[in-house]
């Protein structure tokens, strides 16, 4: 099968390697031709997935028309901040009826609060959209570490197509028809990971980390249900599974941002020093706003928003959380 990955970052590259290992012909699109030339020459994505040797027959193309020509499946793997504009670049180019489009991006649009699959569907003009989510760091998938994720689509048949495409000996894929819940879990967990990182940066311990993860899951579930998601989705791979890995892993960029905030660094300086995107910083704004619109209480998300956008110190944010009125656990 001819498959195009839109996005030359770590996750797009790792998924490209996975699909290539199944025998598919894989093309990866990136916006900067000069960097793609570097990848072709070195056979390594040194900026986003260093240390991983890339096969000679992976194709790297900067022209959108050439990238999707003949594609039988398209995978979207670009940061949420650039997702809309990249989709616009490919609007009208995926013309084969029934082409499967799978979105890997976790987040919400900062301006419109739309989910990534909603943006893809409306911009690309296709209804064969699925999302793939769950605890799946690119660094581990690229090295063949056993991983389990969920493929979601409102239509079970489309979810099954995505499952069949990605499932393999070391990459197990389940299905779900709760696309909304799967995408909400993937978006909000990044915000909670910043809070956990800040706790670690302050030198707090396992008790605090466990409390933030547990109460963070309560926030994610409460928020998702208010938007129409199914509660059980948040007990699965795209909910608690992804939350655990993002809050505890050394690979987590969101945790790393939080840890540096906890040590007193400035958010602008942190982001300026990073090669890759920490989705939780951008998504904290959209989730904070959407929670207010729907009247959903999300104190940890509020604290992360204050850290990133209101010049709160990490210690002040913790004090604010701990000083809240007592309540039953729910």
What is residue 246's predicted lDDT score, i.e. its pLDDT? 96
Span 153-162, pLDDT tens digits: 999 999 999 9
CATH code of the region 2-177: 3.40.50.720
How many C-alpha atoms does 189 have within 13 Å on its Cβ side?
A: 29
Averaged confidence pLDDT in the chain: 96
Verify whether residue 81 is a known catalytic residue: no
CB 123 within 8 A of CB 112: no
Tokens representing residue 126 in the block: 């296709």
pLDDT band at 299 (very low <50, low <70, confident <90, very high): very high
Which sequence spans correspond to the domains of the chain? 2-177, 180-322
Query: By C-alpha distance, which of 99, 63, 78 is closest to 13?
Result: 78
Q: Would the pLDDT of 96 be above 90?
A: no
pLDDT of residue 278: 85
Q: What is the pLDDT of residue 109?
A: 94
330 has pLDDT over 80: no
Report the predicted TM-score, pTM, of the whole model to 2 decimal places. Answer: 0.96
* Annotated catalytic residue, options 81, 106, 111, 189: 189
- The CATH architecture annotation of domain 180-322 reads Orthogonal Bundle (1.10)
- 47 touches 70 (CB < 8 A): no
What is the tens place of the pLDDT at every residue in 120-172?
A: 999 999 999 999 999 999 999 999 999 999 999 999 999 999 999 999 999 99
């Amino acid at each position: 099968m001819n498959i195009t990955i839109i996005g030359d970052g770590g996750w797009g590259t790792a998924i490209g390697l996975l699909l290539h290992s199944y025998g598919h012909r894989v093309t990866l699109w990136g916006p900067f031709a000069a960097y793609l030339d570097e990848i072709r020459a070195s056979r390594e994505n040194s900026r986003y997935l260093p240390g991983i040797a890339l096969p000679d027959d992976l194709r790297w193309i900067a022209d959108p028309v050439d990238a999707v020509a003949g594609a039988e499946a398209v995978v979207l793997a670009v940061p949420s901040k650039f997702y809309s504009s990249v989709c616009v670049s490919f609007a009208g180019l995926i013309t084969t009826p029934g082409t499967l489009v799978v979105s890997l991006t976790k987040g919400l649009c900062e301006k419109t609060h739309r989910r990534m699959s909603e943006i893809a569907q409306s911009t690309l003009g296709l209804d064969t959209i699925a999302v793939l989510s769950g605890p799946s760091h690119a660094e581990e998938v690229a090295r063949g570490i056993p991983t389990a994720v969920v493929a979601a689509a409102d239509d079970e048949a489309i979810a099954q197509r995505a499952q069949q495409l990605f499932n393999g000996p070391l990459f197990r894929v389940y299905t779900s028809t709760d696309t909304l819940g799967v995408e909400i879990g993937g978006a909000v967990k990044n915000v909670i990971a910043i809070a956990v990182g800040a706790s670690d940066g302050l030198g707090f311990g396992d008790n605090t980390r466990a409390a933030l993860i547990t109460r963070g899951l309560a926030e994610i579930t409460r928020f998702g249900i208010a938007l129409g998601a199914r509660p059980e989705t948040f007990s699965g791979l795209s909910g608690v599974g992804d939350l655990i890995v993002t809050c505890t892993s050394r690979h987590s960029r969101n945790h790393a941002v939080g840890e540096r905030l906890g040590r007193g660094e400035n958010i602008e300086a942190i982001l300026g020093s990073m090669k890759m995107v920490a989705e939780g910083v951008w998504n904290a704004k959209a989730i904070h706003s959407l929670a207010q619109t729907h009247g959903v209480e999300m104190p940890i998300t509020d604290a992360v928003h204050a850290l990133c956008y209101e010049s709160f110190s990490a210690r002040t944010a913790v004090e604010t959380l701990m000083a809240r009125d007592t309540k039953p656990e729910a």
